[in-house]
């Protein structure tokens, strides 16, 4: 399993999810994607996208920045069944 990083900083809804959808088609099942974004609504949008597409939302952490906080969101693409 690999970890991929998506830089969605500065993008507004729905672009972080669209970029995530495009990247998810290029990675392998079980891979992780870390999304960096500045759009405060992206966390809920990505949670919904994960639920609909049966991916696992792992965590979201806000990283303080002087101008805008940056959220680091981690998901797993189609996680293997336990």
Q: How confident is the model at residue 66 (pLDDT cuts 50, 70, 90)?
A: low
pLDDT tens-digit series, residues 6-18? 999 999 999 999 9
Give the domain extent around 68: 3-76
User: pTM score, two decimals?
Assistant: 0.91
**pLDDT range class, residue 81, cuts 50, 70, 90:** confident
The answer to whether residue 50 is catalytic is no
* 82 domain-assigned: no
Q: How many domains does the chain have?
A: 1
CATH code, domain with 43: 3.30.110.40
Sheet with 56-63, strands from edge to edge, namely 3-8, 32-37, 70-76, 56-63
Whether a cis peptide bond, with omega within 30° of 0, leads into 77 is no
Q: In this predicted model, what pLDDT tens digit does every residue of 14-48 receive, in sequence order?
A: 999 999 999 999 999 999 999 999 998 999 999 99
Question: Choosing from 13, 37, 50, 74, which is the catalytic residue?
Answer: 13
**81, part of any domain:** no
Whether residue 1 has pLDDT greater than 90: no
């Amino acid at each position: 399993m690999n970890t991929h990083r998506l830089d969605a900083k500065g993008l507004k809804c729905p672009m972080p999810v669209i970029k995530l959808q495009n990247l998810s088609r290029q990675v392998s099942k079980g891979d992780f994607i870390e999304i960096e974004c500045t759009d405060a609504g992206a966390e809920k949008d990505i949670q919904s996208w994960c639920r609909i597409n049966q991916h696992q939302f792992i965590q979201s952490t806000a990283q303080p920045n002087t101008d805008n906080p940056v959220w680091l969101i981690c998901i797993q693409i189609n996680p293997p069944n336990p």
